[in-house]
């Protein structure tokens, strides 16, 4: 279901935003035809400004999932830290989860505020080469709920893209909330012209997650975002005492690898559950730096290497 075809539109409606709106053959008989034909197509003035900012960004990667709580923000944080290991690489991290902005805490930037300068908003720097932007930095009190409907959420996302002075970036990694709604449509819309390199889709092994992730894959196809691949997170837990493995989120329908095969998208790898990942997020520390011996570390790096290879 596209977002700009009205409920009562005929089957081959070109969309209300299209240049053919009201004028295509399929518009004949549609109750909205006169409106569509007479409304001038206004280009959003923000788009050229966004394009200008994004011209300084070499690669844009979206981190998506249909499902909540699978580890999008955790993965975004670890991906960004890993990309920045080469100190000559500049990484920007944009958190468009407006209601549940987790990135400030995960990157150890809880309580920081953003500043305005004459070149725009300054993102908050974790290190010399990693900068973060999130609604989390704009709250008076971190417990304040951000109770915004879609249009207001879209507005802030537009500002993040238009007004933030990222400078020159090698990578802009965009963390998203779960679902396929306003935030996702807006990011895709605003970045249409400057282009998105691709999306990394995160899931956990069980069918309850996979069923939402298939929808997300179909969303990407519909809005024409290339899919870099699927990552299976929380894939098995190794008991620290007896070292035997248990499947906490059992892959009852074959897990992400099988789903990726069926949906014909690349499978980037599986990352096991290590309680230290969650703790690192809670304390805003880099898991990859702190625990290089964890099996999860090797798994992360294998996935991240494939992402780097894809966008290069």
Binding site for another protein (CB under 8 A): 1-3, 66-70, 73, 98-100, 102, 105-106, 142-151, 153, 177-182, 184-185, 204, 206-208, 211-212, 214-216, 218-219, 222-223, 237, 239-242, 244, 246-250, 252-253, 273, 275, 278-279, 281-282
DSSP state of 82: H
Considering the complex, state which of residue 170 and residue 207 has its C-beta at the smaller distance from another protein: 207
Please state the closest distance from residue 299 (CB atom) to another protein, in A. 16
Please state the closest distance from residue 212 (CB atom) to another protein, in A. 4
Please state the closest distance from residue 286 (CB atom) to another protein, in A. 15
Give the distance from CA 298 to its chain's centroid: 23
Please state the closest distance from residue 295 (CB atom) to another protein, in A. 15
Place of tokens 């409606």: 13
Alpha helical stretches, state H, 164-237 = 182-190, 207-222
With H, G, I as helix, E, B as strand and everything else as coil, classify residue 65.
coil
Considering the complex, state which of residue 94 and residue 98 has its C-beta at the smaller distance from another protein: 98
CB 207 within 8 Å of CB 177: no
Considering the complex, state which of residue 165 and residue 207 has its C-beta at the smaller distance from another protein: 207
Please state the closest distance from residue 157 (CB atom) to another protein, in A. 13
**Taking the C-alpha atoms of 187, 174, 128 and 56 in order, what is their torsion angle to the nearest 10 degrees?**
-40
Please state the closest distance from residue 58 (CB atom) to another protein, in A. 28
Considering the complex, state which of residue 90 and residue 102 has its C-beta at the smaller distance from another protein: 102
Longest dimension (CA), the chain: 71
Phi, psi of 302 (to 5 degrees): -65, -40
Considering the complex, state which of residue 33 and residue 186 has its C-beta at the smaller distance from another protein: 186
Strands 115-117 and 91-95: unpaired
CB 77 within 8 Å of CB 174: no
Length of the chain: 312
Please state the closest distance from residue 52 (CB atom) to another protein, in A. 26
Give the containing element (helix H, strand E) for 160: helix 150-163
With H, G, I as helix, E, B as strand and everything else as coil, classify residue 289.
helix
Considering the complex, state which of residue 57 and residue 217 has its C-beta at the smaller distance from another protein: 217
Please state the closest distance from residue 69 (CB atom) to another protein, in A. 1
CB 119 within 8 Å of CB 165: yes
Determine the Cα–Cα distance for residues 60 and 54; give it in Å rounded to an integer: 9
Considering the complex, state which of residue 70 and residue 133 has its C-beta at the smaller distance from another protein: 70
DSSP state of 44: P
Give the distance from CA 181 to its chain's centroid: 12
CB 152 within 8 Å of CB 99: no
Distances, alpha carbon 83 to alpha carbons 9, 23, 187, 299, 300, in Å = 46, 48, 22, 15, 12
Considering the complex, state which of residue 33 and residue 233 has its C-beta at the smaller distance from another protein: 233
């Amino acid at each position: 279901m596209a977002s700009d075809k009205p409920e009562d539109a005929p089957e081959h409606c070109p969309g209300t935003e299209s240049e053919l709106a009201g004028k295509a053959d399929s518009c004949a008989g549609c109750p909205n035809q006169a409106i569509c034909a007479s409304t001038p197509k206004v280009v959003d003035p923000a788009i050229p400004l966004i394009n200008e900012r994004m011209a300084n960004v070499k690669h844009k990667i979206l981190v998506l999932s249909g499902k909540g709580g699978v580890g999008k923000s955790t993965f975004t944080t670890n991906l960004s830290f890993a990309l920045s290991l080469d100190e000559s690489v500049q990484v920007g991290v944009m958190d468009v989860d407006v209601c549940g902005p987790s990135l400030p805490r995960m990157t150890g930037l809880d309580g920081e505020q953003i500043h305005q300068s004459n070149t725009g908003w300054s993102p908050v720097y974790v290190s010399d080469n990693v900068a973060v932007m999130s609604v989390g930095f704009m709250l008076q009190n971190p417990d304040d709920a951000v109770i915004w409907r879609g249009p207001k959420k879209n507005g802030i996302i537009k500002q993040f893209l238009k007004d933030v002075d990222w400078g020159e970036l090698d990578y802009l990694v965009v963390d998203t909330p779960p679902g396929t709604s306003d935030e996702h449509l807006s990011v895709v819309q605003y970045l249409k012209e400057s282009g998105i390199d691709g999306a990394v889709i995160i899931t956990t092994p069980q069918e309850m997650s996979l069923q939402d992730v298939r929808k997300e894959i179909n969303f990407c196809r519909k809005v024409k975002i290339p899919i870099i691949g699927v990552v299976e997170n929380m894939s098995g837990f190794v008991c620290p005492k007896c070292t035997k493995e248990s499947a906490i989120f059992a892959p009852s329908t074959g897990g992400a690898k099988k789903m990726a095969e069926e949906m014909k998208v690349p499978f980037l790898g599986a990352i096991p559950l290590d309680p230290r990942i969650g703790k690192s997020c809670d304390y805003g520390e880099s898991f990859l730096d702190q625990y290089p011996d964890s099996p999860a570390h090797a798994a992360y790096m294998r996935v991240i290497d494939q992402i780097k290879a894809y966008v290069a």
